[in-house]
Amino acid sequence: MSAPILWILVPFATGVLILLFLREERAPVTGGVVAAILSLTALIIPIDIAQLLGPVSFKISSTIQFFGRSFALHTADGPLLAIIYGLAALWFFGTQASGTKNRFVSIGLMIVALLTASIAVEPFLFAALLLEMAAMLVIPLLVLPYQKPGRGVVRFLIYQTLAMPFILFSGWMLAGVEASPGDLGTTTQAGTMLGLGFAFLLGVFPLYNWIPMLMEEASPYVTGFLLWALPTFTVIFALGFLDRYTWLRTSPQLSNAIIFAGVFMVASGGIFASLQRHLGRIMGYAAIAETGLLILAMSLKSTEVVNVTFLLLVPRGLELAVWALALSIIKRKAYSLRFSEVQGLARSYPIAVAALIFAHLSVAGFPLLAGFPARIALWQELAGQSLTISFWAFAGLFGLLIAAIRTLAVFVMAEENKPWELNESWVQGVMLGLGVIGLFILGTFPQILQLFIANLPTLFDHLGQ
């Protein structure tokens, strides 16, 4: 058994089988169990190291050849795979509680498998093709059958497709840069093309207008899954570029561009979120601000760049899952998700409202919640580089805090004689409750994450060394 077969082919094939043969009601448990088993396997069994089970010796090999391309997952990838499939299991188990159907679990498994392949493929530039394939698979989840796609879906697909030729062409140019690193013209062109490619992939300011549109048009749970999965693997892909090419890490122009892109995303995302009157758009702008924090983490001139980046990535999956689940439950009552429609719902859906507010506060970096330790670590590093950048990052998160306070105020604006009642099902209550407990555990005991991220810097030969 090889690692790429176990963590790429098996989940992809499972997704196909669920799509073709399994009823929609059984898909969440099946997909969640498969993802959880893959996560535990990655955490317990090291790759490419012989193991003894009684009289039987076995080893999960690291590499496989497929159509002339090599797919390799090494020992250092184990904790990363455990994080990816653990968070994916959380999303799949929450599918039934969210009321999301339309083949979410089956296609979601295939998307995670393709995204995992994007970090395993060699030459690594082919990851751009796999990211595009994953983006194409998202479309059936965003657009219901016989439904005309909205502007957000169209812009998402256009931007993701435009990113691929930029990245592939920059890869071809980077080969020339490696051959003649003194050619400043080629270096500048390659850096510009690469920056444009990742700007389209990550939705860097001002290319993120599709995100709030999509939060209005599509299911909050599906869109939340998209906003977790694609940026996560794109950031890992970008770290691979920075690790591979020394001139990218040392270029002051590129470093400044990354910093300004991150600052603009955090500040604009937080400020725009504080001005919105639609719960979906608020979540969209919060996700934009959090992506900006990831970009700022990649710009750090510190050995902690990998640790801080993954410290931001892990809570992000939990925060978006809880937020998207709560929003999906509320949307079944107030379809438009505008403030005028959700006013006073705290008395009708108290668990969903509480979970939404806690997830929102976690993204804003509120103390004792999952997002707080990562933001403190990032601020500590940024303060050593520039107090101005730290100020604007704080301003963006303060905007998210204002949005959370406004949202809470709208939820509790109910008539005085309106009774309190629980309209969430027991499955919804359990899933939301576990999610909120997870937010507090990661915020109160952040050292738990060290079990997963302590060895992740070894994924990169030069970053963090």
Q: DSSP alpha helices (H): ranges in 209-349?
A: 210-217, 220-244, 246-250, 252-275, 279-298, 305-331, 339-342
Percent share of the chain, pLDDT over 70:
93
Structure tokens at 13: 């094939």
462, pLDDT greater than 80:
no
Number of domains in the chain: 2
Least confident stretch, 62-71, 106-115, 382-391, 415-424: 62-71
Note whether 128 and 113 are same-domain residues.
no
Q: Is residue 465 part of a domain?
A: no
If asked whether residues 337 and 396 sit together in one domain, one would say: yes
* Domain's final residue, options 78, 95, 122: 122
pLDDT of residue 273: 93
Q: Does residue 464 sit within a domain?
A: no
Judge if 93 and 157 occupy the same domain. Answer: no
Residue 131 to residues 26, 83, 124, 128, Cα–Cα distance (Å): 28, 19, 12, 5
Question: pLDDT digits over 99-129, tens only?
Answer: 777 688 999 999 999 999 888 887 777 788 8
d(C-alpha 460, C-alpha 451), whole Å? 18
Give the residue-averaged pLDDT of 307-324: 91
**One domain, residues 138 and 249:** yes
Q: Is 13 exposed, middle or buried (0-12, 13-18, 19+ CB in 10 A)?
A: middle
Assess whether 296 and 443 both reside in one domain. yes
**pLDDT tens figures, 256-306:** 888 888 999 999 999 999 999 999 999 999 999 999 999 998 888 777 788
pLDDT confidence of 184, banded at 50, 70, 90? Answer: low
Same domain, 278 and 395: yes
For position 205, what pLDDT does the model report? 80
Clarify whether residues 238 and 363 are in a common domain.
yes
293 and 263 within one domain: yes
In terms of residue numbers, what domain contains 149?
123-459
97 and 144 assigned to the same domain: no
* Same structural domain, 191 and 289: yes
Residue 52 and residue 75 in one domain: yes
Q: What is the mean pLDDT of the chain?
A: 85
Lowest-confidence pick of 51-65, 85-99, 101-115, 192-206: 51-65
282 shares its domain with 354: yes
